[in-house]
Homo-oligomer: A and B are copies of this chain.
Amino acid sequence: MLPVDLPGTVRDALLAPLVDHHCHGVRRDDLSRGQFELLMGAGAAPAPPGTTHFDTPVGTAVRRWCAPVLDLDPHAPPAVYLARRDELGATEVNRRLLGAAGVVAFLVDTAADDIDMLTATEMGRHGGAAADELVRVERVEQDVAVTAQIAVDYLDGLGEELTLRAARAVGLKTVIAALYGLDFDPARPARGAVIAAANRRLDDPKGAVTDPVLLRHLLWCAIDVARERGLPVQFHTGFGGRSPAEPHRADPARLGAFVQQVQPLGVPVVLLHSYPFHRQAAHLAGALPHVYADVGLAFPHTAAGARVMDELLELAPYHKLLFSSGCHGLAESGYLGALRYRRALAAALGSRLADGEWSPADAARVAHMIGSANARRVYRL
């Protein structure tokens, strides 16, 4: 499973159970080929006629690494893979793949609100792990928007609902990168502007909020709640299924002024994904004491592992890096996220050990920090 020979202590540290500090639920039902390809594809669209999402780095990885977990040979053809998946049934497939990920605790963003997705508790049960929840703040807003009648109820409702849900969660999460971009005005918006925006929102409460004033208001409410409860706030950044129309606006560097405003409040900020801007995330994590960077290598970046890991280890403090699978929809993404993380870190540590740059003791210690210890500290698990 690991691509290089390593001293026993380093190998053990790499293979030890992981805390997956950011994932979503996976589908509980059997999937058609079309459904499977859509979930495997990076975007929202089916592959163009005559092509398949299996002809992608993700598709190759599924055939190479997940096939053996389902008792198939590596590189099984797509049709064979999907037939075996059907044969075993979704429950068994999920149990095998999530179990093989070697995760001791899942922190789950359950915002999808889709009865076909496993809940946090179910993710834990399938994966033989503990499970905790992350509150997606824009999901809370959506729920409040459809029930509130007037702006004052809406605004009070946001704070109350955030507080309520945060009480049983280990962190909050925002997808403002996807809904607007990370180049928002970092200041807390003025009360008058928020009320005007709230009135506009209540006229059209369907779908996710995209008004930048409301998004900023919501974010600052989340920061307040996080401060009160001692929780970190996760920011989706970089490319991925939820990158904005103009993907350069998901560069975490654009959060610089905002995170500096948050610094005195002591709220930890966790930059998720960040690829291909991971050096920017690593820089912020090195420059600011409350900023953390994620090592998230699931779909669609699963093939980018070794280089991304190496580039993060060029710059980021070791106590500021956290593993996540970014698992979403398919249990394959949870398994591959963990596998790629371990293989990439093994390669990075292996080359440092071979060059004499690192000692084995340091390598084992850092593998333990990134794999679980940092997450336990930041999320107070």
Stretch with Cβ within 8 A of B (4 or more), from A212-220, A222-230, A307-315: A307-315
Determine whether the beta carbon of B358 is less than 8 Å from that of A287.
Answer: no
Determine whether the beta carbon of B248 is less than 8 Å from that of A254.
Answer: yes
Give the contacts of A46-96 with B (CB-CB under 8 A). 46-48, 50-53, 55-57, 60-61, 64, 74-75
Give the contacts of A226-268 with B (CB-CB under 8 A). 239, 243-248, 251, 253-254, 256-257, 260
Stretch with Cβ within 8 A of B (4 or more), from A13-21, A189-197, A276-284, A325-333: A276-284
* Complex-state Cα separation, A251 to B74, whole angstroms: 37
Contact partner of A304 (CB less than 8 A), chosen from B239, B287, B303, B314, is: B314
Does A165 have its Cβ within 8 Å of any Cβ on chain B? no
Determine whether the beta carbon of A243 is less than 8 Å from that of B315.
Answer: no
* Contact A48:B289 (CB < 8 A) given known A60-B358, A356-B64: yes
Does A286 have its Cβ within 8 Å of any Cβ on chain B? yes
Residues of B within 8 A of A316 (CB): 56-57
Determine whether the beta carbon of A315 is less than 8 Å from that of B287.
Answer: no
Determine whether the beta carbon of A307 is less than 8 Å from that of B317.
Answer: no
Determine whether the beta carbon of B288 is less than 8 Å from that of A45.
Answer: yes
Contact partner of A60 (CB less than 8 A), chosen from B257, B284, B357, is: B357
Determine whether the beta carbon of B43 is less than 8 Å from that of A288.
Answer: yes
* Closest residue of B by beta carbon distance from A357: B64
Binary CB contact string for chain A from 359 to 376 against chain B (1 if under 8 A, 0 otherwise): 101100010010000000
Q: How close is A320's CB to chain B, nearest CB, in angstroms?
A: 8
Residues of B within 8 A of A304 (CB): 311, 314-315
Residues of B within 8 A of A24 (CB): none
* Complex-state Cα separation, A369 to B56, whole angstroms: 12
Q: How close is A206's CB to chain B, nearest CB, in angstroms?
A: 21
In this complex, how many residues of chain A approach chain B with their Cβ under 8 Å: the count is: 69
* Contact A247:B280 (CB < 8 A) given known A43-B288, A288-B43: yes
* Complex-state Cα separation, A357 to B62, whole angstroms: 10
* Complex-state Cα separation, A52 to B320, whole angstroms: 11
Residues of B within 8 A of A301 (CB): 314-315
Highest count of chain B CB atoms <10 Å: which of A280, A358, A369: A358
Contact partner of A303 (CB less than 8 A), chosen from B64, B253, B290, B314, is: B314
* Closest residue of B by beta carbon distance from A260: B245
Does A7 have its Cβ within 8 Å of any Cβ on chain B? no
Determine whether the beta carbon of A315 is less than 8 Å from that of B289.
Answer: no
Does A355 have its Cβ within 8 Å of any Cβ on chain B? yes
* Contact A358:B64 (CB < 8 A) given known A276-B280, A301-B314: yes
Determine whether the beta carbon of A253 is less than 8 Å from that of B246.
Answer: yes
Does A42 have its Cβ within 8 Å of any Cβ on chain B? yes
Residues of B within 8 A of A288 (CB): 43, 45
Q: How close is A328's CB to chain B, nearest CB, in angstroms?
A: 15
Q: A46-B289, A48-B289, A74-B356 are in contact. List 13 more A-B contacts (CB 8 A).
A: A43-B288, A44-B287, A47-B317, A50-B319, A52-B319, A60-B358, A239-B279, A246-B253, A246-B256, A246-B257, A247-B256, A247-B283, A248-B256
* In the A-B complex, the 5 residue pairs with the closest CB atoms: A43-B287, A248-B253, A304-B314, A75-B359, A276-B279
9 A-B residue contacts at CB 8 Å?
A43-B289, A47-B289, A51-B319, A55-B319, A55-B366, A56-B317, A248-B251, A304-B315, A307-B310
